[in-house]
Amino acid sequence: MPDLRQFKLPDVGEGLTEGEILQWLVAVGDMVTVNQPLCEVETAKAAVELPSPYAGTVTELLFEPGTTVDVGTPIITIDLGGDAAPAPAAPASASASAEEAEPAAGLIGGPAPGGRTSVLVGYGPRNTEAKRRPRRTGASVAARATAPVVLPEADYGSGGTERPPLLATAPDVTTKPVRHGGLEIGRAAEAHAAAEEAVPARTADHGHGRVRPLAKPPVRKYAKDRGVDLALVRGSGEDGVITRADIDAALSAVPERGHARETAGGHARETAVGDQRIPIKGVRKHTAAAMVASAFTAPHVTEFLTVDVTRMMKLRERLASRPEFRGVKVSPLLFVAKALLLAARRHPMVNSSWDEATQEIVVHGQVNLGIAAATPRGLVVPNLKDAGRLSLAELAGALAELTETARAGKTAPADMSGGTITITNVGVFGVDTGTPILNPGESAILAFGAVREMPWVHKGKIAVRQVTQLGLSFDHRIVDGELGSRFLADVGTILHDPGTALAF
């Protein structure tokens, strides 16, 4: 008799609510062992492999690659009996037991202290089931829009709430602004959200604040490959489920010049032949939300400094030949990172964050140095924990490992959180400088521009020197102009004359 267990998508980072299945590493019929990687999942922060909490035979893969799945949703079924062939359809009682079964304590998805679920990083979501709401008719939606809103206990980690915190209050005279992504959202946004509820819906809510058409995973992939928006397709199947025939019918109705695509505001936008629409998800979605939150929460100020770094570049050549740096890249970024760490030790307020909830400034005891890295999936900012404790050689190795791991898309979720200050190296693209946006939760970010040979006044004469530009953006709630200027000047002083580092 088969012993079926379903593995639910865990929270692979602090507070994540969904993830996209990039690829399956197993197939139906495969024998798997405990901790064997089952699939690769991309979250808002990184791509990670999910290990199996069970040993047995894979009987069903519940989602196709490319599907975005809510945390707490079953993604794979494993038969602990170990039969090599896929198990036949189980009776209702067997299916129920498979869904309710829990992995052993300590395994991913299993019980953890405090009633939580074991995850790869952090404490994880609460142990509640992710349930699909019953479909509503137009009449029921209209009635709900006028009725008082009664909310269940919030559970944003497992997908058990109807919508994220932004929309979890009813618009009334007592409603206060709520914080979401660092922004202050007031009653106007809440009222707008409630008005949208009155629009008749023919699709099922998928548990994270947006509606999703009813279609099976193969049909979704079929539509995605052909560029068809399922939100604009009327399903002919039972309960309005969209079929392949509906996709083909939608394709045949598209004019040759292009097609109109309905946007969230109800307006139509023309998509011309040759245009490409890229879904906003994963790292790109997280980056966009973080940048908007930062730009409209922290009052940014940016200062610039042009520095003669000829001595630094000569020191770089000398250090590269030393035994302790053999096999390690001695880059200009290494010196910028060390200069920032020394300057932050002198000006600790720069390495701090604003706590809106407690109305306090948190001055961090250690520098978790973030390095902005461009990857095929978008911009990520992994960080080195307590970077100030590292020697110059250790810092060089850590920077190389950090950037290589990020570009490979293998950064651990723990390395993507907890940063306190960031460097963005725009010089690798031949850019002189920029006005960088703060990483949310941090008070400063330093842009390092390209090192160029330029005419420079040196010892009273015009000479060709190696010059770079620095751009420092800081949160003016925490860092005053004087403090920001002194910090940037100290970084520039160390880069101009590395010997001054002995005085820090």
Can you tell me whether residue 433 is helix, strand or coil?
A: coil
C-beta atoms surrounding 203 within 10 Å: 17
Name the token pair of 467: 């010059």
CB 102 within 8 Å of CB 115:
no
Helices 332-346, 481-496: axis angle to 10 degrees equals 140
164-to-167, 168, 296 alpha-carbon distances in Å:
6, 6, 20
Phi/psi of residue 362, each to 5°?
-100, 110
Torsion-angle region of 317 (φ positive above 0: left; ψ -120 to 50: alpha; else: beta): alpha
- Residue 496: active-site member: no
Angle between helix axes 392-407 and 332-346 (nearest 10 degrees) is: 120
Structure tokens at 331: 């880059």
Tell me how far apart the alpha carbons of residues 470 and 467 are, in angstroms, rounded to a whole number. Answer: 10
Residues 6+ apart with CB under 8 A from 99: 6, 74
Which three-class secondary structure state does DSSP give residue 272? strand
Pairwise CA distance, residues 54 & 80, whole Å: 7
Query: Based on C-alpha coordinates, what's the Rg of the chain?
Result: 27
Output b/e per residue, 389-420; b: 16+ Cβ within 10 A: ebebbebbbbbbebbebbeebebbbbbbbebb
The answer to whether 75 touches 98, Cβ cutoff 8 Å, is no
Give which of 19, 62, 23 is closest to 159, Cα–Cα. 19
Question: Which residue is catalytic, options 180, 208, 347, 476?
Answer: 476
Show which residues are catalytic. 476
